[in-house]
Amino acid sequence: MDTQKQQLSANFTREEFELEGPMPESSVPAFEFLANRILEQIRLQFSEPMEITSGHRSEAGNAEANGNPHSEHVSTPDYCAADWTMPRFKADMRGVFDWIRLSSGLPFHIVVLEHGKSGDVIHTSWHRDASSRVAKEGSTHNASPYIEWAIG
């Protein structure tokens, strides 16, 4: 059995994005883009490791998580998503969220600050054909309606 982890970027492995099951091989380049061009840049800005809490989901797994039926967690070669937190900021990720949406210039499609019982997580997605970027805030598992925020 091969136990070597597949690196998608300097600090992220494929396995971190497969907590809920394996991603299709065709989705690997999308997750490489997300890891290298978005998540690594956030990690660098805050000098803080990140914990991926959700990456690729099957359609059934997405439904169980109360995910949007068109969620980018159900990855394809054209889009993907990850939810993550930073241990040092887990109780309040607003500063990280605000930097991403207002100052970063990162090529995200959707960024969402989600509040849950065990702390905050940030959902970040990438979409190859996205012509707009969206920032929202709400509760994990879509437990409350989301509000939209401006993007810088």
Enclosing domain of residue 106: 14-149
Q: How many CA atoms lie within 13 A of 127 on its CB side?
A: 15
112 located within any domain: yes
* Confidence check: pLDDT of 5 > 60: yes
How far is the C-alpha of 111 from the C-alpha of 122, rounded, in Å?
7
7 located within any domain: no
pLDDT on residue 2? 52
Cite the beta strand spans of 3-149 per DSSP E.
Answer: 51-54, 79-85, 110-116, 119-127, 134-139, 147-149
The pTM of the whole model exceeds 0.85: yes
Which of 63, 28, 146, 27 is closest to 97 using CA atoms? 146
3 located within any domain: no
The CATH number for 54's domain is: 3.30.1380.10
9 located within any domain: no
How far is the C-alpha of 39 from the C-alpha of 124, rounded, in Å?
8
**pLDDT tens, 46-83?**
999 999 999 999 999 999 988 888 999 999 999 999 99
Is the sign of the CA dihedral 48, 65, 31, 25 positive or negative?
A: positive
Question: How many structural domains does the chain have?
Answer: 1
117 located within any domain: yes
5 located within any domain: no
131 located within any domain: yes
58 located within any domain: yes
